[in-house]
Amino acid sequence: MGGLTPNAEATEGHARNENNAGRRFGGYTMTKTIRMLLKVLAFTVLAGVGTSAMAQEVIRLRIASGHPPANTYVALLRDFFVPEITKRVAEKTKYKVEFVEGYGGAMVKVADVLEGVQSGIIDIGGYNFGFEPSNLPLHAFQVMLPFGTMDPEMSLKIARAVYAKVPYLSKVFEDKFKQKLIALIADNGYNLGTNFEWNSVADLKGQKIAGAGLNLKWLEFAGVTPVQSSLPDAYTSMQTGVYNGWIMFPSGWTNFKLYEVGKFYTEIGFGAITRHGLTINSARWAKLPKEVQDIILQVAKEYEDKTGTVNKADYPKQIAELKAHGVNVRTLPEKVRQEWANSIAG
Q: How far is CA 116 from the centre of its chain?
A: 15
Q: What would the pLDDT profile of 54-83 be if each residue is shown by its tens digit?
A: 556 999 999 999 999 999 999 999 999 999
Which domains, from first to last, does the chain contain?
A: 190-272+320-345 (3.40.190.170)
- Longest CA span, the chain: 134
Dist. CA 58–CA 63, nearest whole Å:
16
Name which of 120, 149, 96 is nearest 272 in CA terms. 149
What pLDDT, on a 0 to 100 scale, did the predictor assign at position 56? 60
Dist. CA 131–CA 113, nearest whole Å:
9
Q: Do 307 and 152 touch, CB atoms closer than 8 A?
A: yes
Q: Is 102 helix (H, G, I), strand (E, B) or coil?
A: strand
Give all strands of the β-sheet with 58-65 in edge-to-edge order: 96-102, 58-65, 124-128, 274-281, 179-186
Q: Do 146 and 250 touch, CB atoms closer than 8 A?
A: no
Residue 114, class by beta-carbon neighbours within 10 Å (0-12 exposed, 13-18 middle, 19+ buried)?
Answer: buried
What pLDDT, on a 0 to 100 scale, did the predictor assign at position 199? 85
pTM: 0.82
Amino acid at 50: G
In the chain, % of residues over pLDDT 70? 84
